[in-house]
Chains A and B, each alone.
Chain A
Amino acid sequence: MTNLFNYIQRSSPIHRLTGAAKFACLLLWSLAAMTTFDTRILLPMPIVACILFFLSRIRFREVKVLFWFTFVFMVLNNALIYVFAPEHGVELYGARHVIWSGIGRFTLTQEQLFYHLNVILKYLATIPMVILFISTTQPSEFASSLNRIGVSYKIAYSVSLALRYIPDIQREYRDISTAQQARGLEMADKKQSLVKRLKNAAAMLFPLIISSMDRIELIANAMELRGFGKGKKRTWYSARPFQTADYVCVALCAGLLLLSVGMSVLRHSRYFNPFS
């Protein structure tokens, strides 16, 4: 398939892990990062992530686009948070150490900075792992992985179908729009009024969607004819058996999640609060 998800063929310990294991790890890891706000847990995670990244032999420039997307997203989100609640940190940590009294409500407090630090850490903890996952896992392994970690194979197969038909649908969209222009449809551009642009977009989208509905019938037939959906289970040509390494990784990530949840529960708080 066209390399949408940026899979990069290498031979590395990370690549060698089975997709299922990597997917499970990703889920556990990101859940851990989500549930906690404890800086002592959040701080090491990005570091570990970077080490793994190094192990995967993926070069930064190969994925910097992705990093760029997320970086922008992160900055924007933090900016928004500050604009809306410059003293959010103060509420959370129940203390107020002013660094700079600022302009109007826009003050600068240690608590706010510390809060932003934690939010950013949450990003830095997960982003590299996601990018790592998508660039070291064969898309065709996604589906069987889902099934392996307990998702019903039918749903797992819809994911596989989605991946299979995304490139087709993209090409079809191009074809339809060219075919339409060849029949005299103006191409959308800034000069036209919004209504006209919407009209044109619709003229391209509707055929795409409606024809896909017919295609659904066709594919479903082809699959039933080859016995899809008759059994409770199915095997996967693209699946690979678990190795020790896989078990170890999953175990470690599970441990991490336990740690992060456990800490919150025991200390009756998700935060590590240096101010009280």
Chain B
Amino acid sequence: MKKSPVVTIVAIGIGAALFFVLGRFVAIPSPVPNTNISTQYGLLAFMAGLFGPVAGLLIALIGHALIDFSYGWGIWWSWVIASGAAGFIMGLAARKLALGGGEFGGKQIVRFNVYQIVAHLVAWVGIAPVLDILIYQEPSDKVFLQGLMAGAANIVTTAVIGTLLCLAYSKTRPKSGSLKKED
């Protein structure tokens, strides 16, 4: 798939829609009672890895903001922004991953996960708590612990779901010149 700017725009739109649906309606019960695994970050890492940092940033911003809107609690700015940052950092992996090309082996898997781990740490242990303190003057140990927990959970789900998505997707991209009718 060639990346014309329009493709990126559509990717942002569809990505945000998927992010919303996964975050709002698709609940996978986790081992911890009545908490759900937030699958949308697996999606985010995958799509950011495919379409790049800007797409990652906007998918997360729009998707997360829409979720907050649909619940009605304003926009919890600090976390929306954190999501965006995560998406952006994940997107930085895109160029080297070249997911469209149909190759996704050990090297890419490692790179993909390094980026997503960094991204989540920066977002949930860095940005989100700091903003919470700045904006809402919340006690620091509270917000940092929250951030840590969220970050850890997201890293795990992203590692599983994101990586599998990349594998599945790269399988659907035929290597160039590879398709011939057999009989």
Contact = CB atoms under 8 A, between A and B. Distances in A.
Indicate yes or no for A touching B, C-beta below 8 A: yes
Interface of A: 4-6, 30, 34-35, 37, 63, 66-67, 69-70, 73-74, 80-81, 83-85, 88, 92, 115, 119, 122-123, 126-127, 129-131, 134, 154-155, 157-166, 169-170, 173, 190, 194, 197-198, 201-202, 205-206, 208-210, 212-213, 215-217, 219-220, 223-224, 228-229, 270
- Please tell me the size bucket of the interface on B: 35 or more
A163 B169 CA distance: 25
A58 B75 CA distance: 21
B106 interface: no
Contacts of A115: 137
A137 to B, nearest CB: 10
Contacts of B160: 198
20 contacts: A34-B77, A69-B72, A81-B138, A84-B145, A85-B141, A88-B138, A119-B136, A159-B62, A161-B12, A161-B17, A162-B16, A162-B66, A194-B31, A205-B22, A205-B26, A210-B169, A220-B7, A223-B6, A223-B10, A270-B137
A178 B43 CA distance: 22
Given A201-B39, A202-B161, A224-B6, A209 B136 contact: no
Interface of A is mostly: helix
B13 interface: yes
Nearest 8 CB-CB pairings of A with B: A161-B13, A66-B72, A85-B139, A84-B142, A158-B12, A162-B16, A158-B13, A126-B74
Interface string B73-94: 1110100000000000000000
A210 B7 contact: no
Contacts of A173: 21, 25-26
B96 to A, nearest CB: 20
B73 A88 contact: no
Contacts of B146: 80
A88 B141 CA distance: 11
Nearest to A87: B139
Contacts, number: 175
A206 B10 contact: no
Interface of B: 1, 4-7, 9-14, 16-18, 20-22, 25-26, 28-31, 39, 43, 46, 50, 58, 62-63, 66, 69-75, 77, 135-139, 141-142, 145-146, 160-161, 164-165, 168-169, 172
Given A130-B73, A173-B26, A223-B6, A159 B18 contact: no
Given A69-B72, A201-B39, A205-B26, A162 B62 contact: yes
A229 B26 contact: no
Contacts of B20: 162, 166
Interface of B is mostly: helix
A233 to B, nearest CB: 15
Contact of A63 (B72, B137, B161): B72
A38 to B, nearest CB: 12
Contact of B14 (A6, A123, A165): A165
A214 to B, nearest CB: 8
A84 B69 contact: no
A171 to B, nearest CB: 10
A162 B74 CA distance: 19
Nearest to B28: A201
Contacts of A169: 14, 17-18, 21
Contact of B11 (A70, A84, A129, A216): A216
Given A88-B138, A228-B6, 4 more contacts: A66-B71, A73-B73, A85-B142, A158-B12
Given A134-B69, A162-B63, A209-B43, A217 B1 contact: yes
Nearest to B43: A209
B77 to A, nearest CB: 7
A205 B136 CA distance: 36
A130 to B, nearest CB: 5
Nearest to A86: B139
Nearest to B171: A210
B181 to A, nearest CB: 21
